[in-house]
Chains A and B, each alone.
Chain A
């Protein structure tokens, strides 16, 4: 197992170097002056000042030197301070957020994190449970229902589903509004002295501050985005779980377990489900991608000021430095997510770690 994990971890740096090269290549498609936001926040308008900045930061240097500078930063000859350098956590200045990209990411991460974490729970637990139920009661009502549900869910784009939900439950019934909090709750969270923002996640903070009214308010606001984000991915998990469970239930060792006289419950929970989980773990990486892109779309529609919203706003205002910073961040998240999936894979499938 250890050797397996070590092998997976050793590939990571190679992939990350490739990722930075690719991002840098996209960066080089920009004009030198557009790239200057990597180092300075205010781009002057007169051309001599622009030339000075280009010269100072070597934005016309050979590509490999620029790549090196982009990675580790470069020394300002006058002040002696090192500026830029993504390895030092400096991703440049974000015009969209009006702060350094890194700061913007850290600032907005809890918002998107809350949304994503709350969505993962129903996706995995409910998806696996429904899939197992559908397979165990093959061709019953729950099976047919879940199949229709899954195939429709798989075809329904997140943005259409989210807008339909808003149409019914916000515009029509007025139950679940967009954004993160109601106006009165925002006042308390952002302006009151007594409310401490420990994690920046409203649900957790409100509980820690014992403000249950705010907790209910944030749940009310989170309900639709979480529902919209998880539905599509849930449908996929359920589909895979169902078909792999069906396949597993036909294996010989299930027959053996049954003929030993084990209760049906034990057969399903101890013998079948674990093996049927393997394909679900395999598509784990895929689910991760869907979750990331789902966050972008969901935040845009529900007006939630998280990373996804920043991403779209940056795209609309051609703020490529912010975009590439976010892409770099999301690919790091993705590479780590895939690593976790790989390790989980080794756990559930002994054949993998013994190879």
Chain B
């Protein structure tokens, strides 16, 4: 209880919580905020024609056709290259961000826990081997390796959100494996583990009932803080062009559309400022929250006042 109270008292972490709640709200109510034309394919961004040149937000223009909000040609945040509606893309892109962030975090966490636990629990040669494998994976620059794997996978599993996500997972688990390994090593020598072993518990029971519950917490905290980072990497892959298929509601892709308009970007500021703001605020929310959680949980960092 005092933990939550502390989070709500600190203005920085409160900002983080508000931001994340805002994005959760947007993601949940996306069908209301931006009703999809085709409910079967809500992630396809609607297009207003096929002209390349972006349109400014309607309320900033002369509005010669006398459009009112909600009309078909009305664009709250304008359109980007290819007439994709920016507002729609940001709203539904929030769902993409949560989907990518949560699935990648969850999968890397599970895999990291699995490898780290086995290495720490069995020790010896297995530990040595697994930790060398971890180091091999860590020898690759994360984004570059993910970009390569996504490229190799795309012709095999198709263009879409899965290729970049799998790529991020393949190279993302190493940190957790190391973390949980260290924590298990310090837990597994405790008396209650020995007692469980003497009482005849098998490995499975010892790991899941006695070791993991006592060692898993720091890894969980770190993983939850990484959601923002994974969304950032996912958006970067998308931005570089190995992400989702064209027209899929995704922040990285919307920002990618701005690249062809760099010389006149000050005219079409809305195609970079709005999607840029969305992703920055999203990552900021997770970072602020993560910072606060770490400050509260890590007594070494607690400031004497």
Q: Which residues of A contact B (CB under 8 A)?
A: 11, 14-16, 18-19, 21-22, 26, 29-30, 151-152, 154-160, 163-164, 166-168, 170-172, 178, 243, 246-247, 250, 289, 292-293, 296-297, 300-301, 311-312, 315-316, 318, 320, 323-324, 326-327, 330-331, 334-335, 338
Contacts and interface: CB of A to CB of B under 8 A. Distances in A.
B241 A164 contact: no
B273 A164 contact: yes
Given A171-B264, A315-B241, A159 B140 contact: no
Contacts of A293: 141-144, 236
Contacts of A164: 272-273, 276
- Main SS at interface, chain A: helix
A167 B269 contact: yes
A324 B141 contact: no
Given A156-B280, A163-B255, A334 B262 contact: no
Contacts of B281: 155
Nearest to A16: B139
Nearest to A26: B152
Contacts of B291: 151
B209 to A, nearest CB: 34
Instruction: Among A160, A243, A323, find the residue whose CB has the most chain B CB atoms closer than 10 A.
Output: A160
Contacts of B235: 157, 159
Interface residues of B, number: 56
Given A26-B148, A157-B279, A289 B284 contact: no
A163 B236 contact: no
B136 A22 contact: yes
Contact of A296 (B240, B262, B263, B273): B240
6 contacts: A151-B288, A156-B280, A171-B263, A250-B304, A312-B240, A330-B144
Contact of B140 (A170, A172, A250, A331): A331
Nearest to B262: A166
A250 B305 CA distance: 12
B152 A29 contact: yes
Contact of B266 (A18, A22, A172, A326): A172
B278 to A, nearest CB: 10
B211 to A, nearest CB: 27
A297 B240 contact: yes
Interface string B266-298: 110100110010011101100110010000000
Contact of A312 (B137, B149, B241): B241
B263 A170 contact: yes
- Interface pairs A-B: 8 shortest CB-CB: A18-B136, A293-B143, A172-B266, A155-B284, A160-B276, A167-B265, A171-B266, A171-B265
B133 interface: yes
B148 A163 contact: no
A301 B259 contact: yes
A167 B266 contact: yes
Contacts of A318: 151, 154-155
Instruction: Among B143, B264, B288, find the residue whose CB has the most chain A CB atoms closer than 10 A.
Output: B143
Contact of A315 (B133, B242, B264, B265): B242
Given A167-B269, A331-B139, 11 more contacts: A22-B140, A151-B12, A155-B284, A160-B272, A163-B272, A171-B262, A172-B265, A289-B143, A293-B144, A330-B144, A334-B140
A156 B273 CA distance: 12
Contacts of B304: 250
A294 to B, nearest CB: 9
A167 B272 contact: yes
B112 to A, nearest CB: 17
A316 B242 contact: yes
